[in-house]
Amino acid sequence: MKILFAASEVYPLIKTGGLGDVMHSLPSALAELGDDVRIVIPAYESVISKVENIVDAGEMIVQGSGRMHQVRILQASHESLNMPVMLIDIPVLYSRKGNPYVDENGHNWVDNAERFAVFSRCVAMLATGQADTGWKPDVVHCNDWQTGLVPAFLSQYETDIKTVFTIHNLSYAGHFSYATFEQLGLPAEWWSPDSVEFYGNFSMLKAGLIYSHWITTVSPSYADEICTPDGGNGYDGILNHLSYKLIGILNGVDYKIWNPQTDEFIARHYSLTHQRIVGKKENKKSLLEHFDLPDTSAPVFGFVGRMVEQKGVDLIVSVIPHLIKHTDAMFVLLGTGQLEYQQQLQNLAKQYPERMGLSIGYSEEIAHKIEAGADAFLMPSRFEPCGLNQMYSLKYGTPPIVRYTGGLADTVVDANDETIKNKTATGFVFNKIDADELLQAINRCINVFKKEKLWGQVCRTAMQQDYSWTHSAHEYEKLYKKQTTSGL
């Protein structure tokens, strides 16, 4: 099958979170199954400097916000991607430094509506052969709100191209005003509750939901949660209505990148059967050294992630002082995000320099070092569509401490009397969004950590889990071929 992935990020060209990882690993897994896969992303400045073998693949004129854009389609490659990368090159929209979504002060780029509406128009035109690249997909697989308008634009063409729209995170929806809707020259009939209108604005995410043949999201539990008022962000009504075409497919992990046996960033390689104990020890030592912390046999808790409300950073901030006072726990954290969380963590790191290491920033290298060097991994998310870090942690023998939500609930087995007895425990799970519950889970973890044999068992079971793409990539293949039964 010919599959075109449309997204706003792909590792290692540009990544801010799990979407980038999945846009690398899922297309790669499908290409390995024999599908003819391509990915299309905007030609951000940093991407142009990373790709190789750039060739001109076509040109188009595309409507923007009250202006027209001359677009170059580029085709390129990268050694770590086993598929061609198509780039939508419009320098005035994409050639700027920094993050794909926000400026250096963390504010959304003011022209985001135009940037991603135009990107979506280009993808639809590219797919229907208007840039004449000589390649036409059977399926266009769109991801998150930045590509939500692609199925809507495609619905305007006489075409049998199938569209799949994947929700990676419902809390980012791409809402814009009626004035923006008009400036973008979107069809007037789309301004309707049955189309892209959403509580007086228009929603690019809703366009993806309404006009795609299939909606997927990245774990079965999250697929259920988003159909409820608590987890639906205002979209639960629409999603219930469209539930005939909604399915949850768990993300996979690319074990070529996230594997302690081959990881290029870590101090010592190890696996379930080779040097596990000594490997963990040396990686812990090297991690602590990196953060100028003393080597220790005390438990080290790691965190890597976007420091936003979703990730429960406030809960971590609440429990650290108590744990430092009452236990020998240490902490190593990496991330960027909301200033208030960064500042609170910086204050704690200043207060407890011997017990806590903090890196505010983005670093693939430190992220891998934390997975390998920490004893346990903190992920107390308020909600988590899938979550990749907990699956990486399992592979690295670093049991995750997670809240029972979304993909975390689908991938981590709580260590309780029963699961310890039947040897299925892989981590520590708590229920309520509550600092005391997190504290209890961490204390349970510390108790198991102190019992060497038991701890070894939980770590080994964690490492045995297989979340590779094999199963989920087949699920997507089946879906690409399946007809939707009602609705469209």
The amino acid sitting at 169 is: N
User: Which residues, other chains included, contact 418 with Cβ-Cβ below 8 Å and sequence gap of 6+?
Assistant: none
Ramachandran quadrant class, 38 (left: phi over 0; alpha: psi -120 to 50; beta: rest): beta
Binding mask 365-404 for ligand ADP (x = CB under 6 A): --x------------------xxxx---------------
Scan residues 281-320 and list those touching ligand ADP (CB under 6 A): 304-306
Residue 442 near residue 319, CB atoms below 8 Å: yes
Binding-site member from 148, 357, 385, 400 for ligand GLC (CB under 6 A): 385
Please identify, among the stretches 37-45, 332-340, 443-451, 480-488, the one whose residues bind ligand ADP according to the rule CB under 6 A.
Answer: 332-340
Torsion of CA 104, 204, 73, 479, to 10 degrees: 120
Cα–Cα distance list, 464 to 207, 368, 425, 459 (Å): 40, 19, 11, 9
Say how many residues touch ligand GLC, by CB under 6 A.
14
Rounded CA-CA distance 235/232 in Å is 5
Query: 194 vs 230, which CB is nearer to ligand GLC?
Result: 230
- Answer yes or no whether residue 99 interacts with ligand ADP by CB under 6 A: no
Scan residues 226-245 and list those touching ligand GLC (CB under 6 A): none
Residue 319 near residue 438, CB atoms below 8 Å: yes
- Answer yes or no whether residue 19 interacts with ligand GLC by CB under 6 A: yes
Min dist. Cβ of residue 173 to ligand GLC (A): 13
Say how many residues touch ligand ADP, by CB under 6 A.
18
Binding-site member from 1, 12, 17, 484 for ligand GLC (CB under 6 A): 17
Structure tokens at 3: 């599959």
356 binds, among ligand GLC, ligand ADP, none (CB under 5 to 8 A by kind): none
Scan residues 24-63 and list those touching ligand GLC (CB under 6 A): none
Pairing mode, strands 52-63 and 68-78? antiparallel
Min dist. Cβ of residue 188 to ligand ADP (A): 36
- Helix 276-290 and helix 452-464, axial crossing angle in degrees, nearest 10: 90
CA 446 to chain centroid: 29
Structure tokens at 281: 């020890």
Binding mask 4-43 for ligand ADP (x = CB under 6 A): -------------xxx-x----------------------
Query: 21 vs 35, which CB is nearer to ligand ADP?
Result: 21
218 binds, among ligand ADP, ligand GLC, none (CB under 5 to 8 A by kind): ligand GLC
- Answer yes or no whether residue 9 interacts with ligand GLC by CB under 6 A: no
Neighbours of 348 (CB within 10 A): 20
Residue 488 near residue 213, CB atoms below 8 Å: yes
Binding mask 60-79 for ligand ADP (x = CB under 6 A): --------------------
Binding-site member from 203, 251, 283, 426 for ligand GLC (CB under 6 A): 251
Binding mask 78-97 for ligand ADP (x = CB under 6 A): --------------------
- Answer yes or no whether residue 412 interacts with ligand ADP by CB under 6 A: no
By beta-carbon distance, which residue lies closest to ligand GLC? 18
Residue 100 near residue 119, CB atoms below 8 Å: no
Handedness of CA 204, 210, 214, 216 (dihedral sign): positive
Cα–Cα distance list, 45 to 89, 95, 306, 451 (Å): 10, 5, 23, 51
- Answer yes or no whether residue 386 interacts with ligand GLC by CB under 6 A: yes
Task: Report angle CA 302, 374, 377 to the nearest 5 degrees.
Answer: 45
Rounded CA-CA distance 145/97 in Å is 22
Min dist. Cβ of residue 189 to ligand GLC (A): 32
Rounded CA-CA distance 204/172 in Å is 10
Binding mask 398-417 for ligand GLC (x = CB under 6 A): ---------x----------
- Answer yes or no whether residue 180 interacts with ligand GLC by CB under 6 A: no
408 binds, among ligand GLC, ligand ADP, none (CB under 5 to 8 A by kind): none
Min dist. Cβ of residue 400 to ligand ADP (A): 10
Name the residue among 211, 146, 140, 210 with its Cα closest to residue 172. 146
Min dist. Cβ of residue 390 to ligand ADP (A): 7
Pairing mode, strands 68-78 and 197-198? unpaired
Structure tokens at 386: 């899938």
- Answer yes or no whether residue 174 interacts with ligand GLC by CB under 6 A: no
Q: Residue 468: helix, strand or coil by DSSP?
A: strand
User: Which residues, other chains included, contact 440 with Cβ-Cβ below 8 Å and sequence gap of 6+?
Assistant: 430
- Answer yes or no whether residue 335 interacts with ligand GLC by CB under 6 A: no
The amino acid sitting at 220 is: P
Query: 18 vs 137, which CB is nearer to ligand GLC?
Result: 18
363 binds, among ligand ADP, ligand GLC, none (CB under 5 to 8 A by kind): ligand ADP
Give the residues lining the site for ligand ADP (CB under 6 A).
17-19, 21, 304-306, 334-336, 362-364, 367, 386-389
Residues that bind ligand GLC (CB under 6 A): 17-19, 22, 168-169, 218, 251, 384-388, 407
